[in-house]
Amino acid sequence: MPLIPEESIPYLENMIYLPMVLTILEKDRTIFEQGPFKLKRPYISMVEEAVKQVQKELKETHIYMKRHSMKVLRGEGDDMFTEYVFFHGGYEEHRRYLNVRLRNRVEELLSMYFAIVEKIR
């Protein structure tokens, strides 16, 4: 039996992925603001709405993690892998993620958040 319950893993992984998504969205907003776009507002608005959605989910994740005494720390990394340390209920688990997997998952999440923004518009 795993030391960290399976239902907790998505929350722990949110603490890896969602901050990355926010970083990318913030950089993109800066590019749209400073770039040579004729009509910047639609792009900036789309990014800002996506940021709100990510922040909302990140807040929910923080609440869940606090309630369940969970924490994530970034461990060692190299060109291929990044290690994360998951803490839950006194247990510690080390997981290594392929950097390509991290990038691909962040890209999937960006697409998902932009789709959510499109639906609520």
Q: What's the mean per-residue pLDDT of the chain? A: 95
* DSSP annotation string for the chain: --SS-GGGHHHHHHHHHHHHHHHHHHHHHHHHHHS--S--HHHHHHHHHHHHHHHHHHHHHHHHHHHTTEEEEEEEE-SSEEEEEEEETTEEEEEEEEHHHHHHHHHHHHHHHHHHHHHH-
Domain ranges of the chain: 6-120
pLDDT tens figures, 6-58: 999 999 999 999 999 999 999 999 999 999 989 999 999 999 999 999 999 99
Distance between CA atoms of residues 31 and 40, nearest Å: 10
Q: How confident is the model at residue 3 (pLDDT cuts 50, 70, 90)?
A: confident
pLDDT at 84 over 90: yes
Q: What is the pTM of this model?
A: 0.92
pLDDT of residue 120: 87
